[in-house]
Amino acid sequence: MCTGRVDIAFVLRAFSKGADGVFIGGCWLGECHYVTEGNYDALFNMHFTKKLLEQVGLNPDRLRLEWISASEGTRYAEVMNDFGKKLKKLGPLGKGEGMDKRTLKLKLEAVSKLIPYAKLVERERLRVHFKTEQEYLDYFASDDFNRLFKELLVDKLAISQIMLLLGEKALSARDIAAGLCLEASEVSRHLSMSSRLGLIRFDEALKCYALA
């Protein structure tokens, strides 16, 4: 299967099922077996997914993409050994980032629910095509990309997490911040936005926020 077929959802599903890391191996750039040059798509998707993981507090190094041809068995073994060592150093998924299992599950679910929108935004506003890996690295590190990523996805991702948390029970702003490992000021801003959109309401009797 071409690496270009590796959907963001596949990666998130692996993490949701308990994988501490996800490895993707594909043909070297310029040597794709298909006219679509799917490995360039894989390179873009890998960087984009790393940004999503980072945004919910997960170490992006848990996702790795390497170019390895069918004849490079020794290189494959070396890469996998190196990745295994790095994952061991990072520790179990979530625990290595200081999250409990409940918080980890909620954050991964929040990202997964946002995938259809994220893929639409990525295709319509963020997708680019370069010829070298360095150009992709520069693009994803650029102020322009980070501005667009924040504008289009960051707030929606935070609100997705808040909605899932409030789906369990009504909570105070302080409880929400603690439950999602977010700054209180950031949570307050998202709560105000969600209230204006009619997604949540403030229960005066309980002094807590709940789903509308």
All structural domains of the chain with their residue ranges: 3-166
pLDDT in tens, 139-193: 999 999 999 999 999 999 999 999 999 999 999 999 999 988 888 898 999 999 9
Share of the chain above pLDDT 70, in %: 100
Q: Is 23 helix (H, G, I), strand (E, B) or coil?
A: strand
Looking at residue 177, its pLDDT comes to: 92
Average pLDDT score over residue span 94-117: 94
Rounded to two decimals, the pTM is 0.90
Whether the pLDDT of residue 19 is over 90: the answer is yes
What's the rounded Cα separation, in Å, for the pair 94 and 120? Answer: 28
Looking at residue 7, its pLDDT comes to: 93
Consecutive H or E run containing 146: helix 143-149
Looking at residue 160, its pLDDT comes to: 94
What's the rounded Cα separation, in Å, for the pair 136 and 156? Answer: 25
What's the rounded Cα separation, in Å, for the pair 172 and 164? Answer: 14
Q: Which residues lie below 8 Å from residue 136, measured CB to CB, with a gap of 6+?
A: 43, 44, 47, 130
Q: Name the residue with higher pLDDT: 34 or 86.
A: 86
